[in-house]
Amino acid sequence: MNEPIKYQKMDWYVRRIRSIEELSRAGADRSEDLIQRLEQAWRVTGDAHAPLYRRLHRVLRDAIDKQVLAPHEALPAERDLAEALKISRITVRKALRDLADEGLVVRVQGAGTFVAPRYDTGSAKLTCFNEDMRARGFEPSDIWLGRSEGEATPSESLALGLSPGEPVFRFSRIRCADGAPVALEYTTAPAFALPSVDSVEESLYESLGSVGHRPVRALQRLRAVAFTPEQARLLKTADNHCGLLIERRSFLRDGRSVEVTQSYYRGDAYDFVAELNSLP
C-alpha cells in the first residue's frame, strides 16, 4: 500500500448525553403515570415462561420504541420498578444491563438510568463494509480465510443471546479496498438468520436481508490494538503494528442479535473522524 486510505467522513457519531445535573432534574419530573403504564404493559406481556428479566427487558424496550419513554428521560428507580411489578431488584438490574448493552439506555452513576438519545442525521446509517467503501470511492473485495458451522461457545452465546450449543455460522476474511488489505474480519451469526453458511458471498448484510434479517441497529466499540505476527502477515504490515479493533453487535427490530463481528483495521489505512456538536 503506497498511500494510506483516508476516510473523509465516518458514519459513526459521538453519542451525546446531558450532564448529570440535567439528567437528575429530568428524573425529578418523573410522573406516576409512567409507573402505571409500565405496570399495565407488564401484566399483558406475552411469553409467561420466559425469565422475568427478559420479560421486563421487552416491556422497557417496547416503551422506548414507542416513545412512552422519551430520549433523555429517566427510567423509574430500580426500587420503584421492583415494588410496582413485584419482582426483585436483581431482576430489574439484569434487564437494565441488557438495555445498556444494546445502547438503548445510559446508566449514570449517582443519577440513575436514562433513555439514550436518538439523532436522525443523514450520516448516521448502519452500513456494511462494501457499502462504506463504495460510498468513499473505493472498490471493495475479499480474501476468504474460512467459513464454518458449529455450536455457539459460551462467549458467542452471551454476545448473541443464544443458548449454549445453538448452531452458528462463522466467517473470517481479509477486507480489501482497491485491492489493498485494509482489515481482518471475524464474524459469528446465528444459524437462524441465514439460509446456509455458503449463502454469504460479498456482503453479509445482503445475505441477511435476502431472508428479512438485515439488522436495523448496531452497537460498536473501538479500541487500539497491536497486531499479532499472524495478523501483521495477513495485512502485509510490520509486526506489532498499531491498529484499530472495531467490535460490532447488530440487532433486528425485535431486539435479537444477528451478528457479532471483530474487525482489525490497519492503523495507517483507517482514519476515524467523528463530528462533535455542542448541546442545544
Are both 158 and 240 inside the same structural domain?
A: yes
DSSP 157-212: HHHHT--TT-EEEEEEEEEEETTEEEEEEEEEEEGGGSS-TT--SS-HHHHHHHTT
**pLDDT attached to residue 25:** 47
Does 3 score more than 50 pLDDT? no
DSSP state, residue 260: E
- Rounded to whole angstroms, the Cα distance separating 204 from 178 reads 19
CB 116 within 8 A of CB 104: yes
Are both 58 and 109 inside the same structural domain?
A: yes
Instruction: Please provide the average confidence, as pLDDT, over all residues in the chain.
Output: 79
**In this structure, what CATH number is given to the domain that contains residue 110?**
1.10.10.10
**pLDDT attached to residue 262:** 95
Identity of the highest mean pLDDT range in 4-8, 32-36, 49-53, 252-256: 252-256
Are both 140 and 230 inside the same structural domain?
A: yes
Q: Among 227, 258, 263, which Cα is nearest to 246's?
A: 263
List pLDDT tens digits, range 9-20. 233 222 333 444
Are both 139 and 242 inside the same structural domain?
A: yes
- Rounded to whole angstroms, the Cα distance separating 6 from 59 reads 43
Name the band, by pLDDT with cuts 50, 70 and 90, for residue 61. confident
Are both 178 and 151 inside the same structural domain?
A: yes
Give the E-state strand segments of 14-104 in sequence order: none
Are both 98 and 171 inside the same structural domain?
A: no
The answer to whether residue 13 is domain-embedded is: no
Are both 87 and 180 inside the same structural domain?
A: no
The answer to whether residue 124 is domain-embedded is: no
Query: 86, 115, 144 — which closes off a domain?
Result: 115
- Rounded to whole angstroms, the Cα distance separating 112 from 110 reads 6
The H or E element containing residue 64 is helix 52-65
Are both 252 and 135 inside the same structural domain?
A: yes
- Expressed as residue numbers, the domain containing 236 is 129-266
Q: What is the pTM of this model?
A: 0.59
The answer to whether residue 136 is domain-embedded is: yes
Are both 155 and 198 inside the same structural domain?
A: yes
CB 73 within 8 A of CB 29: no
Query: 115, 146, 170 — which closes off a domain?
Result: 115
- The C-alpha cell of 16 is what? 451525546
The answer to whether residue 271 is domain-embedded is: no
The answer to whether residue 146 is domain-embedded is: yes
List pLDDT tens digits, range 188-230. 999 999 999 999 988 999 999 999 999 988 988 888 999 999 9
The answer to whether residue 273 is domain-embedded is: no
**pLDDT attached to residue 268:** 65
List pLDDT tens digits, range 109-165. 777 888 876 543 334 567 788 887 887 778 889 999 999 999 999 989 988 989 888
Pick 50 or 187 by higher pLDDT: 187
The answer to whether residue 249 is domain-embedded is: yes
The answer to whether residue 122 is domain-embedded is: no
Does 46 score more than 70 pLDDT? no
**pLDDT attached to residue 264:** 94
Query: 115, 140, 170 — which closes off a domain?
Result: 115
Are both 137 and 239 inside the same structural domain?
A: yes
In sequence order, the 6+-apart residues with CB closer than 8 A to the CB of 280 are: none
- Rounded to whole angstroms, the Cα distance separating 201 from 210 reads 12
- Rounded to whole angstroms, the Cα distance separating 216 from 125 reads 9
**In this structure, what CATH number is given to the domain that contains residue 175?**
3.40.1410.10
**pLDDT attached to residue 34:** 79
**pLDDT attached to residue 271:** 62
Name the band, by pLDDT with cuts 50, 70 and 90, for residue 53. confident
Are both 96 and 32 inside the same structural domain?
A: yes
Does 186 score more than 90 pLDDT? yes
> What's the domain count of the chain?
2
Are both 87 and 55 inside the same structural domain?
A: yes
**pLDDT attached to residue 269:** 67
How far the first Cα of the chain sits from its last, in Å, is 43
- The C-alpha cell of 246 is what? 472495531
